[in-house]
Amino acid sequence: MAKKRAMVAAQNIDLSAVKYEQEEIKAPHLTGLAFKLFVWIVEAPIIGSLIISLLKKQNKMTPLLRNTVIPEAPMFKPEYPPQEPEPGVVSLDEDGKPEDRVEVALKCLPQYDPASCWNGDSTPSFRYWKIRDYAYAYRSKIATPSVVAEHIISVIKEFSNKKPPQPLLISFNPEEVRSQAAASTKRFEEGNPLSILDGIFVAIKDDIDCFPHPSKGGTTWMHEVRTVKKDAVSVSRLRSCGVIFVGKANMHELGMGTTGNNSNYGTARNPHAPERYTGGSSSGPAALVASGLCSAALGTDGGGSIRIPSSLCGVVGLKTTYGRTDIGGSLCDAGTVEIIGPIASTVEDVMLVYSAILGTSLADRISLNPSPPSVPNLSLYDSLNSLGSLRLGKYTAWFNDVYSTDISDKCEDALNLLSKTHGCEMVEIVIPELHEMRTAHLVSIGSECLSSLNPYCEDGYVSF
């Protein structure tokens, strides 16, 4: 019998004694025919189990999972530690109407200056149009949601016909978009917009329900065994604010990857460099926002699936704290790591969309007992000083453990900008048990995904 290893209780860890250990993940690097052959062997009886067992041992997963004694009692859901009131924020009523929360968040933004966008310069150039830009254009009768819809429909078709194709959406119905835009245009004509989000175009990742579109999760079979009968909770909250949904955005199949590659529908490409990946798994949402077609999008994130593509595509993604948004109506809605969050081109647009979709489910509220949700009151600061109270932790040994120093150098530039220009304080930190956390996350997200998908997989479309 293997010798047991007892971990140190969290409160007894001596951070000064923690040594960073560089981890090397052992796995075959395969493509093409060799990859297909490997998949066939791994899925074969007996020999497949032996190969997987070997890979687990090589990556220290077997001894860690079987021969480790953890002193703490198991935690089945994340818990919110008691928190001191945060300065410079405004609380939001998660039991109130989404449009009311959006209005509160809107008042927390710096004053809007139309001259910054509408200066009469007719020279064509690319720029990101913010939610408040569209809102001003609609209310000033410079444009209507229907006019914008026609532009978006035209460009989406153009993207699909490019060589190579750039499939941003898996499900797209131009007439459905036109219908939503016409309803929004009518509300503006009657002087009754629902909120600042009325007429704003938003894409929904293909693993979040948005009626009447199917939710395929990037597969070719999911919609045949799982019927979408209504919006996901987060989508319904946006719909009540007047948002126009352009369709279901492309994604890495079932969210199980960080590149965004999808062999079923084609791979969304990075708008800034079409020869490069968007990152994943929320590839389509990030690409749609980065291309300027949508002001915002909803993605899901259990291990970087909002943060990675947002970073690679140069936009803003928010992986909300677990439980802050209701994940009901997504493909994996019974886990403990995955969340639904917004992607947008600016922080202020992320704030507005987040304020609309936030709201803990009743079950999570009872078990997690979170503090009231809030947003920063940016109207109290000028743009350069709004981050001055933040302390940023940096684990230098881990920070510099990258494939190329080009990566760490760029990240260092970002930290210097935050520190020298915006006044953030940099603090050296240590994160113990990184390998244990990585393994725990792999087991958690993998088993929760399997549990959520098993009812559909039992129909014979796929086996795990």
- Residues involved in catalysis: 205, 281, 305
Contact 10, 73 (CB under 8 A): no
Distance (Å, rounded) from C-alpha 5 to C-alpha 286? Answer: 43
Distance (Å, rounded) from C-alpha 240 to C-alpha 409? Answer: 44
Distance (Å, rounded) from C-alpha 371 to C-alpha 112? Answer: 30
SS3 394: strand
Locus of tokens 């001055």: 388
Quote the Cα angle for 112-114-115, to 5°.
125
Residues near 302 by beta carbon (within 8 Å), at least 6 away in sequence: 255, 332, 335, 337, 338, 339, 445, 448, 449
Contact 112, 346 (CB under 8 A): no
CA 169 to chain centre: 16
Phi, psi of 350 (to 5 degrees): -60, -40
Locus of tokens 């032996």: 50
Contact 400, 408 (CB under 8 A): yes
